[in-house]
Amino acid sequence: MRNQLFINGRFVDAESGETLATLNPHDNSVITQVALAGKADVDKAVAAAKRAFPAWSRMAAADRGRILLRLAELIEANTEELARLESLDTGHPVRDSRRLDVPRTAACFRYFGGMADKFQGETIPVEAGFLNYTLREPVGIVGQVVPWNFPLMFTSWKMAPALAAGNCIVMKPAEITPLSSLKIAELMAEAGIPEGVVNMVPGLGSVAGQYIAEHPDIAKIAFTGSTATGRRIVQASAGNLKKIQLELGGKGPNIVFEDANLDAAVNGSAWAIFHNQGQACIAGSRLMLHEKIADQFLDKFLPLARSIKLGNPLDDATEMGPLTSADHRDRVLSYVEVAKGEGGKVLAGGAGPGGELAGGCYVQPTVVHAQSFRDRVAQEEVFGPFVTVLTFKNDEEALQIADGTDYGLGSGLWTNNLQRAHKVARDLHAGMVWINSYKRVNPGSPFGGVGQSGYGREMGFDAMREYTQVKSVWVNV
Ligand code: TAP
């Protein structure tokens, strides 16, 4: 298990010698001590990235692509180890890590490996006597700060387009979940990524993360995490006017109209909120039911929520694991009291499980019915297996509620009316809409939000635009 910083192609201790324990959320036992990067380590990582940049950025794009394709293969060949590491460190059920996180990580590197030599500039018809064309150039040294909810997948979402475009990277994984990202660093070296191109500095957000945001030699920062930290990053980045990309929180509306296929909507809505214990920025955390079908829907949804099998994430039979940390479990459970205080009703769950899981970071699948869409449980991101039920009378009210938060990330709707589906999709204030489905992601499809959910897009051609800058060249012909 890799537990050191990865700088200039080597695993090394922190300059200070400091380490931080990473815990298993199943029972809070220590998995290992991980080196803790400070400012001096970030400086070393940036210096290594600067040295590597000229050769990496000028390498034939197809050659960069080939390395990423090799990496995708290595990830697939190491599926079991990566899946178990991710589950051990985060609490993801291993069957999800194996079936979703690892294949999606490989798919992302493969997609952008293929993209490397297909993302191109343009020729532009300007005035007579001149040829004008554009070059898509890498931004330079890119800082990337990732959270703890999907560490493996988010490592690929951030690194793959950045590398395909020819940038060098200094990445900080979340302090509580660094292990799978460090394994990816090891595989990157094996795949042939030259030393210094990728540097990994696990450390505290307030120290290493903050310093990456401030660093004068880092040209761009890409961040996924909370809106509050996003704001801090924008402020810290102002010194050298970094290019910024933010993927922040959400409070996803998942709207079930009266004409929906109820069975599909019930299953899809459970997936929308309970996958990864609800720790997803795009989780369908506001379950909005048309009042005509609300009771019928809940008659099916509540037993399904109660039937989800909690357990050790390393057990193949487990459907829901623990939350990723004890602090976070306590924060999620505090919203049960918030709901009660607001006059909400707890329809399912609302506590940690007893028995042998009592010592871990577990929370039962929780469903609360809120009085108003303005209540805190209908406005604030809980980020756990906690769904707030709201009812509506018509399409107009559905949109008012759906768009009635500061966020605008993922959203979903269930209906058999084609016209309504497209009209509501158009009117939703959101970066992503799923119709008769929820929480689909693909490396080709842009991912990101509006409003307090951030700006910029991951995935697809949009991600390549984020990681390049345009140079316009005029030729006097
Ligand atoms: P954040 O503080 O936003 O953590 C995300 C990442 O940012 C971590 O790597 C963190 O480092 C780092 N970070 C923290 N302070 C920083 C700073 N001043 N400068 C640069 N980087 C910094 O999230 P959290 O406190 O762990 O979770 C709180 C809430 O955020 C959650 O309950 C949830 O609502 C939201 N959240 C959203 C997402 C997504 S996908 N949108 C993901 C995670 C959390 P350390 O963790 O190492 O300190």
Q: How far is the CA of 146 from the centre of ligand 1 (A)?
A: 8
Which of 69, 22, 57 has its CA nearest to residue 173?
A: 22
Q: What is the DSSP string of 345-411?
A: EEEE--S---GGGTTTT----EEEE-S-TTSGGGTS---SSEEEEEEESSHHHHHHHHT-SS--SEE
Nearest atom, ligand 1, residue 384 CA: 32
Rounded to an integer, the average pLDDT of 269-273 is: 98
Minimum-distance ligand 1 atom for the alpha carbon of 233: 19
ipTM reported for the complex, 2 dp: 0.96
Answer whether 383 contacts ligand 1 (Cβ < 6 A): yes
Q: Cα(232) to centroid of ligand 1, in Å?
A: 11
Answer yes or no: pTM beyond 0.90.
yes
Q: What is the mean pLDDT of the chain?
A: 98
Residue nearest to atom 48 of ligand 1 (CA): 205
pLDDT at 98: 98
Give the model's pLDDT for residue 173.
98
Asked whether 209 lines ligand 1 (CB < 6 A), one says: yes
Does the beta carbon of 233 lie inside 6 Å of ligand 1?
A: yes
- Predicted pLDDT at 246: 98
Sorting pLDDT into bands at 50, 70 and 90, what band is 285? very high
The residue-averaged pLDDT of 29-58 equals: 98
Q: Residue 63: its pLDDT value, please?
A: 98
Residue 67 alpha carbon to ligand 1 centre in Å? 30
Cα–Cα dist 65/438, whole Å: 31
pLDDT, residue 260, reads 98
Residue range 57-70, pLDDT digits in tens:
999 999 999 999 99
278 — pLDDT class (breaks 50, 70, 90): very high
Calculate what percentage of the chain has a pLDDT beyond 70.
100
For residue 157 and ligand 1, the question of a CB distance below 6 A is answered with no
361 lines ligand 1 (CB under 6 A): no
Write the Ramachandran bin of 350: left for phi over 0, alpha for psi from -120 to 50, otherwise beta.
left
Tell me which of 22, 229, 379 to substitute to probe ligand 1's pocket, judged by most ligand atoms within 8 Å of the beta carbon. 229
Q: Decide: 296 in ligand 1 pocket, CB within 6 A.
A: no
Query: Hey, which residues are catalytic here?
Result: 247, 281
- Spatial separation of the C-alpha atoms in residues 105 and 381, rounded to whole Å: 26
Cα angle 310, 276, 227 (rounded to 5 degrees) comes to: 135
Tokens encoding 26 = 């199943």
Q: Tell me: the pLDDT tens digits for 441-468?
A: 999 999 999 999 999 999 999 999 999 9
pLDDT of residue 371: 95
Q: Is the Cβ atom of 45 under 6 angstroms away from ligand 1? A: no
Q: pLDDT tens digit string along 227-268?
A: 999 999 999 999 999 999 999 999 999 999 999 999 999 999
Residue 228, burial from CB neighbour count under 10 angstroms (0-12, 13-18, 19+): exposed
Output the CA 284–ligand 1 centroid distance in Å: 20
- Write the pLDDT tens digit of every residue in 160-210: 999 999 999 999 999 999 999 999 999 999 999 999 999 999 999 999 999
Atom of ligand 1 nearest to the CA of 328: 32
What tens digit of pLDDT does each residue of 318-335 get? 999 999 999 999 999 999
Pocket test for ligand 1, best of 226, 273, 276, 330 (most atoms within 8 A of CB): 226
Categorize the per-residue pLDDT at 35 as very low, low, confident or very high, splitting at 50, 70 and 90.
Answer: very high
Q: Does the Cβ of 235 fall within 6 Å of ligand 1?
A: no
Based on the number of CB atoms within 10 Å of its own CB, is 477 exposed (0-12), middle (13-18) or buried (19 or more)?
Answer: exposed
